[in-house]
Structures are given as C-alpha cells and as structure tokens.
Amino acid sequence: MGNLFCCLVVEQSTVVIKERFGKFEQVLQPGCHWIPWITGDRIAGHLSLRLQQLDVRCETKTKDNVFVTVVASIQYRALADKASDAFYKLSNTKSQIQAYVFDVIRASVPKLNLDDAFEQKNDIARAVEEELEKAMSAYGYEIVQTLIVDIEPDVHVKRAMNEINAVNVPGTTAKDVMDMVLVTQYFDTMKEIGAAAKSSAVFIPHGPGAVRDVATQIRDGLLQASHHHTLE
C-alpha cells in the first residue's frame, strides 16, 4: 500500500500543482492529501501565495538630458484561484515584471524634466502599477502595490547639485545643474589636453554669464556634431 500511495502535506500559504500522466489535473490546497502513484498522479511543483517584493533599478534619461536611475519597488502575489496560470504560463515571473517596469519608466521619465520627475514620482508609480496589473492578471498574479522609492541622478549631476546647495543658490533648476556639469567636464578635458601638449596654462572666459555662455557654446557644438554625424 505504501508503494501505491503517498501522503503529501501542503503547508499554509502554498498550493501544489498535481498532474496525471503529464497533464494538469488539480490544485491541492493546504492540508493533507493522498497521491495515488498507480494512477499516474505526480506532483509538478509548489507555488507560494505569499506576498513577494521585487526591487527594479532602471536607467533612463530625463527631458533635460539628465541620466537617472529610477528605483521601483513592486509587491505582488500569485492568486489562489488562478494558480495553474501562475505556475504554467510564466517561467520567470521576476524577469517578466522587470521588463514591464522598464517599458513604462523609459516611456514616462524622458517626457519629464528632472525637477518634474521628482515631483511626479507617484504618477510614475501609478502608471507602472496600471500596466503591471493589466499584464500580470493574465498570468495569475496580483499587483498589490508599486512605489518609486528613489530617483538617483548621475553622479556628476548629484555632485553639482550638492555644490549648489552648499552655497545656497536660490531658484536653481536642473538645466543650471547640467550647465555646471557640462562646463566642469569641458574644463577638465581642456586641462588634460593642455597637460598632454605640455602647455602651462589654459585661458577660459570668466564673468557673471560665463558659465551659461560656455555651456551654450558646448551644447550647440555637440548638437551640430550630432547633426553632421546623422547626415553622414
């Protein structure tokens, strides 16, 4: 008798997928079950119904050309009444969720300036959650909550923002920060070129509007170079 039957205990917050001769037959709920091997019954696998969390880091660029890393936190779980869909339809649930998060964030954030992205974190989270709910319900999963927990600017931008905050400059925008980053990188490059050419000095413009003027010239030059490259 022991060779013909097996006693299976299914733990709380878990279901078991049972097959008969390789075909789905039943979802076993928590409790004790007898599995008759002689009739071709077998256990295909276990599925947790517990709440799970996935943190996704997505790199993208804002409308004002600031590279940022958006960190999203997704809480989800498999639905008991759709356990067979959750078990059979997806081979890698986390990768599927991550792909949808990437799509929504990379479609939403590039439409916003950096300052707006910070202010509209809840709107971005809501857009991600709506897309995930629509997509993952077909696979037997429920999206419980979606949060945008952080938006991290590029390290150069973050450093420039900290420097501006340190001197308490009022009314500073993300564009001002990008101008400072651009000019700083330009001057660093000029310094390296000067050192390589054995020059002893590099002359740069200075004055109240110098940073803005240089940044504009650099940006115009980059745009012209990009346009010329496209035409080629």
Residue 31 has pLDDT above 50, yes or no: yes
pLDDT of residue 185: 66
Nearest residue to 61 (alpha-carbon basis) of 151, 158, 193, 1: 151
> How many other C-beta atoms can be found within 10 angstroms of the C-beta atom of residue 168?
7
pLDDT for residue 123 is more than 90: yes
29: pLDDT strictly greater than 90: yes
What are phi and psi for residue 89, nearest 5 degrees? -80, -25
- Judge if pTM exceeds 0.75: no
For 31, half-sphere exposure in the C-beta direction (CA atoms, 13 angstrom radius) is: 5
From the list 98, 121, 113, 128, the residue with the least C-alpha distance to 173 is 113
More confident residue, 35 or 60: 60
Cα gap 194→137, rounded to integer Å: 60
Q: Which domains does the chain have, with CATH numbers?
A: 5-48 (no CATH), 52-153 (3.30.479.30), 156-231 (no CATH)
Write down the pLDDT at residue 178. Answer: 65
Q: Is 140 left (phi over 0), alpha (psi -120 to 50) or beta?
A: left
Place of tokens 């999203």: 72
Instruction: Tell me what the mean pLDDT of segment 50-65 comes to.
Output: 94
Segment among 5-9, 40-44, 95-99 with least mean pLDDT: 5-9
pLDDT over 60 (residue 176): yes
Distance of alpha carbon 8 from alpha carbon 30, whole angstroms: 10
197 pLDDT exceeds 70?
no
Average pLDDT over residues 44-66: 94
